[in-house]
Amino acid sequence: MRLLVSGGGTGGHIYPALALIERLKQVEPDTEVLYVGTTRGLENKIVPDAGIKLETMHMQGFKRSLSLENFKTVYLFLRSVHHAKKIIRDFKPDVVLGTGGYVSGAVLYAAAKQHIPTVIHEQNSVVGVTNKFLSRYVDQIAIAFEAARNQFPEEKVTMTGNPRAQQVASQTASTFSWEEYGLEDDVPTLMVFGGSQGAPKINTTVVDAIPEFNKRPYQVIFATGQKRYDNVKKQLQGVKIGKNVKVVPYIKDMPAKMPKVAALVSRAGATTIAEVTALGVPTILIPSPYVTANHQVKNAQSLVRKNAAVMITEDKLDSRSLLLQADKIMENKDLRAKMAGASRKIGHPQAADELIAVLHKAINEH
């Protein structure tokens, strides 16, 4: 298969694409892939590091208020469509996949106009502006949350889940030991992680809760985010940190460590949810309020409704609410087991294979 993939800006658009590509090359070794992204997005580092050829285009998003910048956005979009048509003619893909971000709008629109089979993958429960626009032009639509189904033309939609889930679920058992962090392997571990950049409100809340965490029969590993680590260390001056609490800037290769986590505190991004449901990790979700259409709340609700997670909205988050939920889960092994089972039922351990099937459907039915 000759696959052209477009998606950019954030890891949430890139990592599902990379997971899909990895699996596709396993089952169809002669696959050739070209990735089209933006000039400034994370894909500029992540995609070449994965050994995938990358082409870039200059794009920007629409301002939600009336702005002269929107005229520039329209101009850049039209120019990018022209550029995308040339890329498509040169690469000659069998199918084009869009995983979100403004760049995928131009690429998928160009592909549809050139009568190339097209598929979009929507990772979130609330459909993004680009994918809503593309839904009328593409051949097939894959979704990761049932809540997204009624936001698209029904006849085009297939539930596949997020390919990242299959990538995580297929990892072999890790030989990792918590002793690397000065913790113990036979004590239940709560991991707190606000994203690679860290989340200020989560960080402040955990700092406030540490004197109480010191007293708990479980242990806590708290990742502050690389750029917020120094600030958290300043906040912790004069605060005693118990042997059962570790504060680190970042946790490398989290999916390899999550099978040894009793529960997780995290944001409710699509990639995180794909990972925790693939592994069956009980989770306290704290949705980011700084995302389009509050979609992380809706992502979280899909787990809360199935008793796989609990949610604390950021406006209700403080040390008391966090400790209440952490104690409830960490001090009840039976509850953790029930939440883990409910979480695994939501997961899509064959998500990449299901999305590959949608790509072939688009090719065969085009």
| Domain boundaries along the sequence of the chain | 2-162+349-365, 178-346
CATH superfamily of 2-162+349-365: Glycogen Phosphorylase B; (3.40.50.2000)
pLDDT grade for 77, boundaries at 50, 70 and 90: confident
Residue 195, pLDDT score: 80
Q: Give the model confidence (pLDDT) of 80-122 as tens digits.
A: 899 999 999 999 999 999 999 889 999 999 999 999 999 999 9
Q: Within 10 A of 340 (CB to CB), how many other CB atoms are there?
A: 19
| Domain 178-346 sits in CATH 3.40.50.2000 | yes
Yes or no: say if 98 and 108 are a contact pair by the CB < 8 Å rule: yes
Rounded Cα–Cα distance for residues 284 and 242 (Å): 22
On whether 271 is known to bind a ligand per the annotation, the reply is: no
pLDDT digits (tens, 9 = 90+) for 38-61: 888 889 899 999 999 999 987 655
240-271 pLDDT, tens digit each: 999 999 999 998 888 888 889 999 999 999 99
**pLDDT at residue 197, rounded to an integer:** 76
**Structure-model confidence comparison of residues 294 and 171, the more confident one:** 294
Report whether 296 belongs to an annotated binding site. yes
Ramachandran area for residue 6 (φ above 0: left; ψ -120 to 50: alpha; else beta): beta
Tokens representing 13 are 């658009």
Q: Which two tokens stand for residue 262?
A: 């009793």
Nearest to 218 by CA among 181, 185, 258: 185
189-193 and 219-223 as β-strands: parallel, antiparallel, unpaired?
parallel
**Pick from 155-164, 251-260, 328-337, 357-366: least confident:** 251-260
- At 250, list the tokens: 């970042």
Query: What confidence score (pLDDT) does residue 63 get?
Result: 46
Q: Is 10 annotated as a binding residue?
A: yes
Residue 331 to residue 76: CA distance in whole angstroms: 55
Indicate the residue type of 128: G
Is 11 known as a binding-site position? yes
Confirm whether residue 251 is marked as ligand binding: yes
Cα–Cα distance for residue pair 201/318, rounded to 1 Å: 8
Task: Report the predicted TM-score, pTM, of the whole model to 2 decimal places.
Answer: 0.88
Is residue 221 pLDDT above 90, yes or no? yes
Phi, psi (rounded to 5 degrees) for 284: -100, 110
Contact 248, 292 (CB under 8 A): no
196 annotated as a binding-site residue: yes
Judge whether 2-162+349-365 and 178-346 match in fold: yes
